[in-house]
Structure 1
Amino acid sequence: MAAEQVQRLRVTPVLAGAVLAVAWTAAYCVVNGTATVLPPILGWPGASLATLMAMIGCLRVTRSPKLTEATRRLWLHLSIVTGLVVVATVSNAYDSAAGPYAPTQQPGPVTAAGYVTAMFAVLWALLRLPVGPRRRSGRLGRFLLDAGAVVICAGVAAFFAATRSGDAWTTSTRLLVPVVGFVVLGLVVALAFTKVAISGFGDVDRWSIRLLAGATLAGGVASGVSPSLVVGEPQLNSAMLAIPGVMCVVAFAADRQWRAAGVPQPPRVRRPYSLVPYAAVAATDGLLLVVAAEAGPTTLVVAAAVVALTALVVVRQVLALCHNRRLLDRVDANLVEMNRYQAELTHRANHDALTGLPNRALYEQESQRMLDGLAQLGTLGVALIDLDDFKAVNDRLGHTVGDMLLVGVAQRLRECLRRFDIVARLGGDEFALLLPGLSGTEAAAVLDRVQAALARPVHAAGHDLLIRASIGLAEARPGLEAAELLRRADLAMYAAKERGKGRYAVYDAELEQHHALDAQLGAELRQALDAGGFSLVYQPIVHAPDGEWASLETLVRWHHPERGTIPPDTFIRIAERTGLIVPLGDWIMRTACRQAADWLDRFGDAAPPAVAVNVSARQLREPGFAVDVAQALHAAGLAPDRLTVEVTETAVFEGGSTLDTLHALADLGVGIALDDFGTGHSSLGLLRTCPAQTLKLDKSFVDSICGGSQESVIAAALIQITDGLHLDAVAEGVETAEQAAALRRLGYRYLQGYLFARPMTPDLVEARLHAGHRQAA
């Protein structure tokens, strides 16, 4: 509990001095209670000493390092108030014991001014306590209403007391108004302290404020009662009697605040109504009954009825206020819950549910906001991140592992950025970074950290996964829209992928020009596909050593009417990016099947035994691809075993639907060949899951086959694997007789390359068929 954390009360010089002052005053009253034994001036040191101790105690509190500035300022004001009271008590001592009218209860101008200024200073300090801007005016208004009730009640009581003992008051004070004024002000100040004690404020100790409120209330009451007690005893003074006790309590309140500094205050209990007006009404009703009783039975009955009606109205109002409070509490609770739901919905609308990162909508808002403030930011970098081969993780290990991988990547990205940078998940495995205030070089340094962070294995659902990312970086320019800036980063990211993945590229004008050419080429590719602008050529795969054709690999060519022959590496890449590879691949498949069937009809056993068609990963992912191949074979009248589908090992490595499609093709009787083997992931596990009958050794291993290099070792290892797994091995890119001889010595029985034939048009193939296609290997 907070109260249990407050330091225990200990005797201090300040507290000892305050208690000594009270004891001094008590001893003086005992000695001079009935007659003037000691000089009246000796009754005042207790008041001055107690006030001085209270001032020192308040100043001590202001030096506590554990208090907030507002609380420290309050106690500084209270120390000033006690200083004013010190001056006022000295002046009061002079007025009552040595002044021109001594002995008297009447305060002089300096004394009255000191007391009144002190009371108004207390009010000013309490009303200055900071509250929310929406509550200050309402709190002040409620306080003034309560203060008005106190003033009226105290005024009526003072008037009643004056009418009952006016001679005694006038004789002892020589002036009624100052006493009544002190009483009213004292009660108002006590009300202010009570308000603070009830409502609570920051780290102001509640018990300290309660002690101050009680002391002020006691002082105000004593100011009104003391004149009646000291009538006929001029050696006693009301201030002399009241101030020591009041200031002793102030000293204890200051000590309590010092001991409670830094201790959390308990939450306040909200009350739906203020007790002050009802207390004032009750006091006035009691006074009314006293007056009515003196006036006679009739007046007493009427007054009692008025009091009873007033009590009923008060009870009814209190019940209504309590009921309203319960309703308001329910409304407040509902509003809080609605606000919580609203905040949650807003967060969900703007953040990714899996990673907790901002989503595309929030990214676009923040991106546009930063672009609008680009003049203040100076620069803004946008990076688009795409995880390479992420689909393979989902297909091989499941979406749960893939989701955990995305969460791990998101955490890595957060760790690489500054506090005010933004990382968002745009969807799938795409992330975007907003890097305000960074130049191109500085942003590149951030991307280096990102690449280094992603190079470490990511633990996801029991798997330690290695992930790479292709990143595109674009720098904002004045006048750019958020969508255009993201497009530029996307363009740079695809350039990074084309350069080999696992790296980043920066957008520039050359990249834009290259993209524009690609876009134009993509549009012309679509036109060429519709207009029949493509043709097929065929390159033989031969038996070693007799040179007989084992099959023909189908290759596509595009002769542009203006640009001339466009290399396949150029337009195939564009076709895959635009999705045109699907209709282009379908045309290649159907045309090759028709051509193979035609040669079989015309040349019989002399026709090529089979044709091989290259198929991209994009085609393999198309639903119903195996059905389309079956339809092409049926339409051409070609047996499935006369068709081989060549796929890259990278395409097969994705697994999932790709492998399902290959198995469906194998079930049809179509041959499967893994092309460019050794240049991709090279996972031997592929040979267990992929229904391949043929492996094609990439040209890069054939080029150095005669030099005893590492490539020759790999080529030798591959032939051992294929023999052990009963697979056919084809060596691609054979250009010299020495290479062919070396490959035959290693055990290769199928070769392909310029040494035997360059890709041939159908007419050249037919001419070779007429002449006999044997060529020594």
Structure 2
Amino acid sequence: MTEERTAARLSLTPMLATGVFMLVTAIVLYAVNATHQVFSPAWGWLPGLVICCVTAVSCWQTARLARRDRPAQRLWRSIALCAVFVAAGNVGDARLSVVAPERVPLQQHDLVSSICYAAAIVVIVWALLRLPLGRQGASVRFVLDALTITVTVTVFAWYFTDRAGNAGDAQGTTVPMLLLAVLGLIVALAMVKVATTGMGGLEPGTLRWFAAAAAVGTIGGGLFPLVFEAGPGLSGSQIFVPATMLCVTLAADRHRRAAGMPARAPKRRLFSLVPYAAVAATDALLLRVSSDSSRTVAVVAAAATGLTALVVARQIGALRDNGRLLQRVDQQLNQLNDYQDELKHRATHDGLTGLANRVLFEQSADEMLAAGEPLCLAMVDLDDFKTINDRLGHAVGDAFLETIAQRLRATLRASDLPARLGGDEFGILLPGLTGDEALALLARLDEAMAVPFKVSGHQLLARASTGLAEAWPGATAAELLRRADIAMYYAKDNGKAQFAVYDEALERTHEADQKLGAELSHAFAARQLTLAYQPIVRLPDGKWTGLETLIRWPHPERGFVGPDLFIPIAERTGLIVPLGTWILHTALGQLAAWDAEFGPGVAPRELGVNVSARQLREPGFADEVREALSFSGVSPDRLVVEVTETAVFDGGVALDTLLEIVKLGVKVALDDFGTGHSSLGLLRTVPANTLKVDKSFVAGIGGASEEAVIATAMIQITDGLHLKAVAEGVETAAQADTLYQLGYRFAQGYHFSRPLPPAEVRSRLRDGELARSTSARN
């Protein structure tokens, strides 16, 4: 930017070149005629006339450029008009240099020229007064400075006029000249004040050229004739008018070049030099006058001047101290503003990822909805993120979230707004997109997320469940967020790592789940839930070898509610944790009661209890199992913890908890084996004692079906790994016979027994059910 400004200052346009040429020509013409008149003095006014026209055109072009800045536009138009008036005045002076050349050196003008010059001054003063003066009090200070310079110039004018009268010159010839000098100095003061204080909103370099123009014009128009004597027909204005107009042309050119550049803040000035310059000039005049008077007057004048200098020095010192204090205050205010900006950023952004937080997300959603344009909102929840935290630590988990945020920024559009709403949950605002367009963008995001992440030396994959909701007329941010949340949970409940779009069917399902969840919580508190036990038998005789614990919910209005309906709800609401604790303690207490009543030889040898992935990830779950075993008095090797493949697929804290449970002596069964992820790979990592083959492989096991091939392969695997295999869902004798022929020795299903309440299990044990065969029971 500095190079651009330097280039703007150094470039020479045709108008500037013309102005420079005219100024040089004017100086040459004046110098030639001042030594010896060679040609008519009227030609000395021609360069000024030309450059006035050039300046008027340049200022008018600048005014057209500043159409959006009305004060600046008015100023440039006024200056263009001022240049026209000066040109008209120069024409009158050129005529006067021919008809009355003796009046020209004294700056005497005819009536028309005087009106033109006065009009030029009035126009420029009026234009300056209409500029916005900025800070409060600037107008008052400006008026005071103007009065100060007026008094000072008037004193000097009176002094020179009085001297001219004493010398025999006519005072009347100097009064108009001095009047114009006073007005010109006021203009100069106005330009200097505007330039040094930054008032008016114009570029500082432009204003400095204005100040230079006013100063040059004042010196040439008012003071130059009082100091230097010129020959007939010659005037300092022949040089100073072109110089003044060249400065104005430079100001206009600077403004045009700086139009696209950022404005620079004006420097703070501790005090104005105008009053002190006026006092110094008056004191100098006082000393000059007193030197012609008596010794007493001279001494008093010198003392007054010295005292004035001391007072000024003291005041300037105080102003400098105040300036340094103000500078420190400004620095502290800037620091405070920076701190407030930082606090505002922290209040609206996530501290870890730098993304927007929930507050800014909802506020932005409201603003986008108010605009009435299409809008989609996506909720993205990372699947199994807790496993990363539990297995690799929170530092890796935080780094993973930061990487996710970077991937979001890199993939989404500039107009999209990603936000971290809490934990591993993200929200995305997609303005201007319909549902199908948003899904296409989310598909690209999913592809980007599928690329493995390298985080703290670990290769990690990001899997997420995403819900999408599209805005509708009258939508609110809270309702849109709720709908996307419903869709997201639907995606998570249906296998994770997928998209779901909100519709009314999801709403009805969600409402039903919410109602059922509330009823489940009430049923648990009211002890309405019960346990049932399904026997696990030995093939082929059907002898009981153990029991699997199953939970039942006899709803007072709905009737029997299946576990496939309420267990997922318990998982989502977190109720599964206290529910699982109750099941574990109740089942072990029941087994201890059967042991006490029938003895170890009659009571079931093993008792299976289903444990969810949520329970395995709970801190201290292994200690909870230890306490339940200790409280009930049941031997650990009689408890079988049944887990699904999905619960331990990702390893992490769930697998670590399972290993701790195995150290207690508890057995592990992989439930629904064959339907999860990488089942064979799990056999190498999960410390399982039993594989429970899912009933989907048992249902069509007859003949040469694919199920029979899979069942045969599984029994071969379990035999090779010395594991116990239990076939689930056996419903017919043919299935039981086929399984026995394939090598299965343990089974479970309605063919042998439905799940039994505790009282019926007790009755069967008392009746010797343990020793009865399947054929006898049939």
Pair 1:95 & 2:96 matched = yes
Q: Which residue of 2 aligns with 1:572?
A: 567
Report what 2:221 is aligned to.
223
Alignment counterpart, residue 651 of structure 1, candidates 644, 647, 651: 647
Task: Indicate if the aligned counterparts of 1:537 and 1:554 stay in contact, CA closer than 8 A.
Answer: yes
The answer (yes or no) to whether the contact 1:14–1:57 under 8 Å persists in 2 is no
The amino acid that maps onto 1:147 is A
Which residue in 2 is equivalent to 1:609?
A: 605
Q: Equivalent of 2:109, from 107, 110, 116? A: 107
Displacement of 1:311 in angstroms is: 1.0
Is the counterpart of residue 499 in structure 1 residue 499 in structure 2?
no
CA distance in 2, matches of 1:724, 1:609: 25
Pick closer, same or farther for the CA change 1:308–1:538 going to 2, 3 Å. Answer: same
Distance 1:720 1:517, change over 3 A: same
Alignment partner, residue 490 of structure 1: 485
Which of 378, 388, 411 is the equivalent residue of 1:393? 388
Aligned 1:20-419 pairs, distance under 5 A: 20-32=25-37, 38-52=39-53, 54-55=55-56, 78-98=79-99, 105-125=107-127, 134-135=134-135, 138-166=137-165, 171=170, 174-199=172-197, 210=208, 213-228=211-226, 233-240=231-238, 242-247=240-245, 269-367=267-365, 369-370=366-367, 376-377=371-372, 381-414=376-409, 419=414
Name structure 1 gaps, 5 residues minimum: none
Distance 1:760 1:187 in 2: 111
Give me the whole-angstrom Cα distance separating, in 2, the residues matched to 1:450 and 1:179.
79
**Partner SS state of residue 730, structure 1:** strand
**In 1, Cα distance between equivalents of 2:624 and 2:261:** 79
Cα distance per residue 1:57-89 (max 9 Å; x no partner): 667878999x99987886665444333322110
Which stretch shows the higher mean deviation, 482-491 or 356-365?
482-491
Separation of aligned partners in 2, 1:275 and 1:637 = 99
- How many percent of aligned residue pairs carry the same amino acid? 51
- What CA distance in whole angstroms lies between the structure 2 residues aligned with 1:745 and 1:738? 11
Structure 1 residues 492 and 262: alpha-carbon distance in aligned structure 2, compared to 1, 3 A threshold: closer
2:34 touches 2:231 (CA, 8 Å); kept in 1? no
Q: In the alignment, residue 749 of structure 2 is paired with which amino acid?
A: G
Deviation at 1:296, TM superposition (A): 1.4
In the alignment, the residues of structure 2 paired with residue 763 and residue 516 of structure 1 have an alpha-carbon distance, to the nearest angstrom, of 36
Q: State the 1:183 CA deviation.
A: 0.9
For 1:532 and 1:46, how far apart are their aligned partners in 2? Answer: 109
Describe the SS at the equivalent of 1:16.
helix
Q: Deviations over 1:100-153 (max 9, x none)?
A: 99777421232122222323444455566667xx43x54444333322222111
State the distance in 2 between where 1:681 and 1:343 align.
50
Q: Is the 8 A contact 1:388 1:470 kept in 2?
A: yes
* 1:753-773, Cα deviation, whole Å (9 max, x unpaired): 334333334455443762534
**Aligned counterpart for 1:619 among listed residues 615, 622, 625:** 615
Q: Which amino acid aligns with 1:554?
A: T
Quickly say closer, same or farther: Cα 1:639–1:366, change in 2 above 3 A. Answer: same
Contact 1:597-1:637 at 8 Å conserved across structures: yes
Match for 1:239: what amino acid? S
Structure 2, gaps ≥5 residues long: none
Residues 84-93 or 251-260, more deviating: 251-260
How far apart in 2 are the matches of 1:591 and 1:684? 33
- Please report how far the alpha carbon of residue 51 of structure 1 lies from its aligned counterpart in structure 2 after TM superposition: 3.7
* Separation of aligned partners in 1, 2:208 and 2:650: 75
Letter of the 2:343 partner, please give it. L
CA offset digits 1:709-757 (Å, max 9, x no partner): 7666655554454444433233322345565566556544433333433
**Aligned AA (2:35):** V
Counterpart amino acid of residue 18 in structure 1 = L
Q: Secondary structure at the match of 1:674?
A: strand
Q: Whole-Å Cα distance in 2 between the matches of residues 514 and 206 of structure 1?
A: 68
Distance 1:209-1:598 versus aligned 2 partners, 3 A rule: closer
The equivalent residue for 1:695 is 691
Q: Does the 8 Å contact 2:26/2:239 carry over to 1?
A: no
Say if 1:532 and 1:274 are closer, same or farther in 2 by CA, change over 3 A.
closer
What's the counterpart of residue 729 of structure 1? 725
Tell me which residue corresponds to 1:767.
Answer: 764
Give 1:448 shift: 4.8
The normalised TM-score by structure 2 is 0.85
Name the amino acid aligned to 1:727: L
CA distance in 2: counterparts of 1:509 and 1:724, whole angstroms? 52
Change (3 A) 1:709 1:111: farther
* CA RMSD between the two structures: 4.1
Q: Distance in 2 between matches of 1:711 and 1:202?
A: 89
Contact kept, 8 Å, 1:423 with 1:431, in 2: the verdict is yes
Q: Counterpart of 2:379 in 1: which secondary structure?
A: strand
| Cα deviation code 1:468-512 (max 9, x no counterpart) | 322344566788876565444433332332222233444555544
Aligned length: 765
Deviation at 1:381, TM superposition (A): 4.8
Q: Distance in 2 between matches of 1:708 and 1:507?
A: 44
TM-score normalized by structure 1? 0.85
Contact 1:25 1:46 in 2 (8 A): no
Amino acid at match of 2:181: V
1:8–1:259 contact (8 Å) kept in structure 2: no
Correspondence for 1:662 = 658
